[in-house]
Each structure stands twice: as C-alpha cells, then as structure tokens.
Structure 1
Amino acid sequence: MTSEFTDYHCHLLPALDDGAVDLKESLHMARTLSSFGFATVHCTPHLIRGGYENEPARVIRAVDIMQRRIDEEGIALRLVPGNEHYLDQYLPEFLPGALRVGASRYLLVEVPFRAGPELLHPMVQTFSSHGLAPLIAHPERCAAFDPAAGGGLRAALSLVLGREPELDLGDSEIVALKRLGCRFQGNLGSFAGYYGYEVRERALLFLRHGLYSCLGSDAHRGEHLWDMLVAGYAVVESVVGEQETRDLLRGIHLANGA
C-alpha cells in the first residue's frame, strides 16, 4: 500500500499509558503502521485525571523524542501529539490549551463504555463554548450508542442474528450528535472482530449509514497489529469499496467537516 493514510487514534508512545510498554515495542508498532500505509500517526495517550496524567506538555515532549528515534531508524512516519480525553467531570478543565486533532477544532474523546447518553449533549455544549467539537473514539464500543437499546426486542434480536436492525437511525443518539457537530472515529480492530461480535455488528451498521468520519488503529501493542490492520481494512473495503475505505483512512470526511 502507498503511504497516504492517517491513524487518528494510536497508543504508540512508550510507557505513558496502557499502550506500548517500551521503546522497542513503539518502534515495532511504528514499522508496522508505516508498512501498512500510514504516513501520519496521531499519538493519543489517555488523559484521565487520577489515572493517566498525560497533559499536553508531557505528550509533546514524548512525541519529539519518539520522532527523533523513528527518524534515526529510517521509518517514514510523522507523529502528531494528541490525547484521548476521557469524558468525565474533569474534562472541561482540560479544554483550554487541549491538544486538538492536528490543526482542526476536534478533540478525540473517549466516552465511558457503560455511560448512558445523558453525558453527551452537555459535552457538545461545553465544547462549543470553547470553539471545539468532539471526535468520539470508537462509538461502536460504547453503550450510549447501542442501536439495540432504543429499538426494543426486535432490534436486539436482529443484532444478535447478524441482520441489519430494523431501526430508524435518524432518531438515534449517534445521528443526533452528528447533527450537533460531533464526529466519529471507528477502530479497524472493531471491524476485524477484536472486540467481539456485537461490537463488530455495530461498527458495520454505523459504517453502512455513513457515520464515521475517519478510522484509527487504536493500537496498544505490536503483537498481531499487522493482522488486525489487514483484516479490518478488508472488512471495511467489502462494505464501502476501495475509494471510500481510503478516504476514511485519509480523513477526507473529517477535513471536510463531514
């Protein structure tokens, strides 16, 4: 593959969170991502008050050091500093001076996996007051966006049986948030089945409805990374075709605000 893709979500930096454990693993991940076709990787360690205190200055220093090592190794990869911001009561404190997704107005946000939708609309309003908008990471993994939750038994059974749920996504939480300015990043591993069957089916549903603006590896480890990337790409391509898959991996829709 040609090197044209952008990884919008990656835990490449060593020993900052639950991602790469050391420099050796970071370099292995960097080689794999570059070989797959990524030219740019957004390094997005968790930023969680009381958990992973990866504030911008620390991430920027780590990216500078890692970029030098990658360059020394001859790996064709450009690193961009970022964060995966955890949606909790402390998030508003981080918004002034937060690391955006490149030069955009988006911040990568992780919604707690078991959170309900009640957190989401206030988040959009808070972001907007700072001239920002959320890029929500892997919504397919979050209970707040579960299409079966509001669709009754028929939708739940359809999801379990692997059929398209008979559900009007026009009234769903994820579509409402997209209309309010949120954007969504899908995990290649979700399409590859790395998080289980139900997450894969939700990812496919969202993909078919055009809800993703970009994709990411969300890579935490070097082991099995190549296999996950290849498998995830193949599934996305089988649903939306080669050009749309490449556009999602290049972030074309995100750049256009779509």
Structure 2
Amino acid sequence: MDRLVNPAAHGHTDADAFDLVIPALPGFGFGGKPRERGWGISRIAAAFHTLMTQELGYQRYGVQGGDWGGIISAKMASAYPGHVIGAHLNFLFVQPPPDPTDEDRQRIAERDAFQANETGYSLTQGTKPDSLTLAQSDSPAGLAAWVIEKFHTWGDVGDDIEKTFSKDVLLTNLMFYWAPNSIASAARIYYEARRDPAGFVYPKVEVPTGVAVFPREPWRVPRRWAEQRFNIVRWTEMPRGGHFAALEQPGLLAGDIITFFRGLRAR
C-alpha cells in the first residue's frame, strides 16, 4: 500500500500516487457477514461500484485484483466501462480458445490435472460449505491446516514456506478468519458464485487491461486465451512469485500497477 500512496519513497514519482480504496469482500475478515442469499460476484461488483461512485464520489476509477478480487475487478470492468478507466489483474478466469493449438492442448492438460488434484476445496465450499466450516470455526488447528496448505501449494515457496511467508504473516492471515469467526461467511462466496453465472459470463472487457503473470500462479493462462475476453494493453511475465502476489512480491506488483495506470491517468 505504501508503494502506491507514497511512490516517491520507492523509486517512482509523486505523480504516480494513488488514492486507495481497499474494501473487504463481504463475509471476509471484518467485512461483515451477509444475512441473506445472493452475495455472488455480480452483487459484490455492483456494491463496490456504488461505493466508489455514489458513496465516495469517484466517477472514474481503476480496479486491481487477484483471486476473487481479480474476478470481481474483471466483472466491474465489463459492467461499468464508462467509469472504470482500466483493470490491472494478476488472476484471470478464462477458457481456452475454440481452436486450440498443440501448445494450448498442453496447457489444457496441465489445467485439467490441477483441477482434478487440487480443487476439492472449491467443490466442497461451493456445494456444502457448512459441513466444513462449522468444524473450522471450532478448531484453530483445522483452520490453520486448511488455509496454510494453500499458501504452500499456490505460493512461490520452494522447500521452505517461511522464506516467503513468515509465521507472523501466516498467523495474521489466520486471525482475519479466527478473530471475527468469518471462515463460514468467507467460504460462502464459492456457494454464491456457483449460482451467479453472470459473474463469469459477460461481454468482453473493452477497457484497457494490464496483466501481471507470476510464474507460480496455478491459474496461469496464455495471452492468446486472455485476449479473447480482455483488451490487453500490457502483459508482464514476472520473474518470481505465485498466487499471493501482493504478499510475495509487493515491489514487482506495485511497480507494474504504477506503470500500467500511468498512461491512463489523463483519461
């Protein structure tokens, strides 16, 4: 955050500074627990747009995100192109092209293998979340095992997770679930997203889009796939980093965000 609000202290210029609005996703951490059904991608995107335009008064703004933040940012860029000046993403949810090349088929095989072996969490949280989250709400060890396994599998950690994520960082992340007892409400986004097809299927994102591709991101996609769904104007292959880019490589991510939006500020 400091790299973006105070870029001159990190090798950029004052003109590159941002106003940052970083909302918690409904259900996550201290972001409140929705008491009604329907808080999927489309509703969250609409709520964040209302926050930006009606509550905070930003008629033009940029979006950035990874994981669910990337999915919601992409939805906002598609739904509100008159307000979103550009989208910077380090996570893309796109399908392969209808005419796959041999290289595409290799990527599809890798994707399918990952889906088969590593996405049971998503299926459980998307279908029967409370069968799992009641136990996690009762067991700190169970919660830690569930969450930290993802840091190990999705992060660029090598053989030692603590070289990338210290115990303090991991425990702080866990406390955002444990202290407000939000693991159940956070998991529910998977359930709601499966019932919100418009959250994934929408018109092509025509606003300028920048993509930071981190090598250990499990959901990496080729640029050719992304260009079916996004107006790609910047594509950066990063030298290191994984799914948790803002935690793993904050300098690389912030630098790419700054460079991408620098050319859009006058719009």
Same fold (TM over 0.5): no
User: What's the TM-score once normalised by structure 2's chain length?
Assistant: 0.28
User: What's the TM-score once normalised by structure 1's chain length?
Assistant: 0.28
More helix by share: 2
Larger Rg: 2
